Chains A and B, each alone.
Chain A
């Protein structure tokens, strides 16, 4: 206890920078997850300058070279450089994760706010959401992708549709508790308009849980994208993605395990970083939960 007091005392008298460092030390998972993600984002942005060659360039003479000095991660069955493909693949995973997290949060937030406040909409919308949630999400995404041609945009839309019901349920639950709060009741009683109550009183209180949920959605979207690509229903083959690289190695894995290993490692580390960031933020934003989960 005294350590905590000493800590906060130090934080209050030291400049902001020092306080930030103390905060980071108390939440090592946020630090680790954040650093790995910033690195991955840098890799995605600077992919062309990281010693990569054209990730699509075929070269039949150098097919299936083992990883080594010349080909860091080896080459695949078409002679493409796996290192370049993995580095460029970072772009796909990160953009799918981020896009799905943002889109499903925005859509889910809007639907959740309305259903939490409008009785008749609640009954209908929640039945639809229950229905969507009882279709296992990978199957739902597969079914949606099967309708359209494979493209990055369609993958993002399909995964977003599978994630929206979870956000709606979270926000609706929050809104139902918040609207019972005395300050909201007071606002309603004093004749504040609905949109103003939503905007001023309800929305700010949904942000912390939504942020945590969005982080987990980002992680799950990256895994779903990889699964879809792996079974041939995801990102089209002309875009190098981690799932694609592994999909093409399906029949070769006994011969060239590195084709699975490197993209699999990148994917797992990135998802782990996002999950740790989510855990850390959940603990930081809701200390009561920290001990339990």
Chain B
């Protein structure tokens, strides 16, 4: 097991290396000369050249990549062009709302989609199955922000049940926090739910066709015992895998959802950074989200042993 964990960790190094190289190239290729910006309007050519060499900007590409990696290892993501604050500092300020939103969405999606997928598989071809599959196609087709506005229009503006926009930290009370999380989590989660429900159904159908399920049914076990006790655990691996892969959808959706619901998280930070062309921030957020995605999928891989003891590393 330990051997496998180490092997798997080592395998993420080339992947993160490619991500790092890409993200660094982004900054390297970004238009504009930071040295000229720092030097100001009245600087001479020599001033700019001096600042450039003091910042190491005159070094070749690979040397600069090495320096940048070294800084990264110390947790230094560079300095925001617009606010002049360290990017790591700006990101730390914005992590909480994004983390809250993604975790809420993850929980809501799994809690809703998993049972739907199981029921659809148990009643394959029936009306529940048709409705669940139909809604899942819809879920793939409605963009996050369109759905978000529809939800706001119905539940906040027409019915006035929930707040229109904004974010309350969980430290300001649990009820306000949840009230502000409901609509964003559902809007962000629908495409994720569609994905999970589909895979759960397909995976359950595969398992339900196997001999041991027929044996369990034949010896007179209750249908739900067969479904939950016998089939679900064996159908879990594709489902867990898609939950991990789908995190990429959540991360992409966060950027938009936070914009619609005015949530001051990392997505909002990114959108503001795009409008101001603040490359170090875009770079930092891209790097962070990619790392999270890689780590989540590493954990998913390792979790396979929990569901299937035959898998031994």
A and B bound?
Answer: yes
CB-based contact A264/B143 at 8 Å: yes
The answer to whether B137 has its CB under 8 Å from any CB of chain A is yes
Cα distance A279–B146 when bound, in Å?
23
CB-based contact A143/B282 at 8 Å: yes
Which residue of B164, B205, B277 contacts A146 across the interface (Cβ within 8 Å)? B277
CB-based contact B293/A134 at 8 Å: yes
The answer to whether B18 has its CB under 8 Å from any CB of chain A is yes
Neighbouring A residues of B241 by C-beta, 8 Å: none
- Per-position contact with A for B184-215: 1 when CB-CB < 8 Å, else 0? 00000000000000100010011000000000
- Per-position contact with A for B12-56: 1 when CB-CB < 8 Å, else 0? 001111110111001001110000000000000000000000000
When A136-B251, A137-B252 are in contact, do A230 and B22 touch as well, CB less than 8 Å?
A: no
The answer to whether B170 has its CB under 8 Å from any CB of chain A is no
Neighbouring A residues of B252 by C-beta, 8 Å: 136-139, 227
By size class, the interface of chain B is: 35 or more
Of residues 238 through 292 on chain B, the ones whose CB sits less than 8 Å from some CB of chain A are 248-249, 251-253, 255-256, 259-260, 270-271, 274-275, 277, 279, 282-283, 285-286, 289-290
CB-based contact A134/B164 at 8 Å: no
| Total A-B residue contacts, Cβ distance less than 8 Å | 144
Neighbouring A residues of B251 by C-beta, 8 Å: 136, 138-139
The answer to whether B103 has its CB under 8 Å from any CB of chain A is no
Which residue of B29, B143, B205, B282 contacts A223 across the interface (Cβ within 8 Å)? B143
CB-based contact B18/A128 at 8 Å: yes
- Per-position contact with B for A176-202: 1 when CB-CB < 8 Å, else 0? 000000000000000000000000000
Cα distance A253–B148 when bound, in Å?
11
Which residue of A128, A231, A260, A271 contacts B256 across the interface (Cβ within 8 Å)? A231
Cα distance A233–B278 when bound, in Å?
13
Q: Can you report 20 residue pairs joining A to B where beta carbons are below 8 Å apart?
A: A130-B18, A131-B14, A131-B22, A134-B15, A136-B251, A138-B251, A143-B282, A146-B274, A146-B277, A223-B143, A227-B144, A227-B255, A232-B274, A233-B274, A264-B150, A268-B143, A271-B140, A272-B142, A292-B206, A293-B198
The answer to whether A246 has its CB under 8 Å from any CB of chain B is yes
Neighbouring A residues of B294 by C-beta, 8 Å: 134
Neighbouring A residues of B83 by C-beta, 8 Å: none
CB-based contact A136/B23 at 8 Å: no
CB-based contact A291/B205 at 8 Å: yes
The answer to whether A147 has its CB under 8 Å from any CB of chain B is yes
The answer to whether A98 has its CB under 8 Å from any CB of chain B is no
Q: How far is the CB of A62 from chain B (nearest CB, A)?
A: 24
Q: How far is the CB of A137 from chain B (nearest CB, A)?
A: 6
CB-based contact A142/B18 at 8 Å: no
Of residues 290 through 313 on chain B, the ones whose CB sits less than 8 Å from some CB of chain A are 290, 293-294, 297
Instruction: Name the residue in B31, B205, B286 with the highest tally of chain A Cβ atoms < 10 Å from its Cβ.
Output: B286
Neighbouring B residues of A279 by C-beta, 8 Å: 137
Cα distance A40–B250 when bound, in Å?
29
A-side binding surface: helix, strand, loop or mixed? Answer: helix
Which residue of B152, B198, B253 contacts A253 across the interface (Cβ within 8 Å)? B152
Q: How far is the CB of B21 from chain A (nearest CB, A)?
A: 8
CB-based contact A143/B23 at 8 Å: yes
Instruction: Name the residue in B14, B22, B31, B146 with the highest tally of chain A Cβ atoms < 10 Å from its Cβ.
Output: B146
The answer to whether B177 has its CB under 8 Å from any CB of chain A is no
Neighbouring B residues of A226 by C-beta, 8 Å: 143, 145
When A132-B18, A147-B26 are in contact, do A268 and B279 touch as well, CB less than 8 Å?
A: no
By size class, the interface of chain A is: 35 or more
Closest to B140 in A: A275
Neighbouring B residues of A231 by C-beta, 8 Å: 255-256, 259, 271, 274
Other contacts beyond A139-B289, A246-B149, A267-B146: 19, CB < 8 A? A127-B14, A131-B17, A131-B22, A134-B19, A137-B248, A137-B252, A138-B253, A139-B251, A139-B290, A142-B270, A143-B283, A146-B277, A264-B142, A264-B146, A268-B141, A272-B138, A275-B141, A276-B137, A279-B137
Closest to A123 in B: B14
Neighbouring B residues of A139 by C-beta, 8 Å: 251-252, 255, 270, 285-286, 289-290
CB-based contact B255/A127 at 8 Å: no
Which residue of B22, B141, B142 contacts A132 across the interface (Cβ within 8 Å)? B22
The answer to whether A28 has its CB under 8 Å from any CB of chain B is no
Of residues 208 through 236 on chain B, the ones whose CB sits less than 8 Å from some CB of chain A are none
Cα distance A263–B253 when bound, in Å?
19
Of residues 245 through 293 on chain A, the ones whose CB sits less than 8 Å from some CB of chain B are 246, 250, 253-254, 257, 260-261, 264, 267-268, 271-272, 275-276, 279, 291-293
The answer to whether B166 has its CB under 8 Å from any CB of chain A is no
Instruction: Name the residue in B252, B253, B277 with the highest tally of chain A Cβ atoms < 10 Å from its Cβ.
Output: B252
Neighbouring A residues of B290 by C-beta, 8 Å: 134-136, 139
CB-based contact B137/A275 at 8 Å: yes
- Per-position contact with B for A114-136: 1 when CB-CB < 8 Å, else 0? 00000000000001101110111
The answer to whether B9 has its CB under 8 Å from any CB of chain A is no
CB-based contact B248/A142 at 8 Å: no
Cα distance A231–B149 when bound, in Å?
14
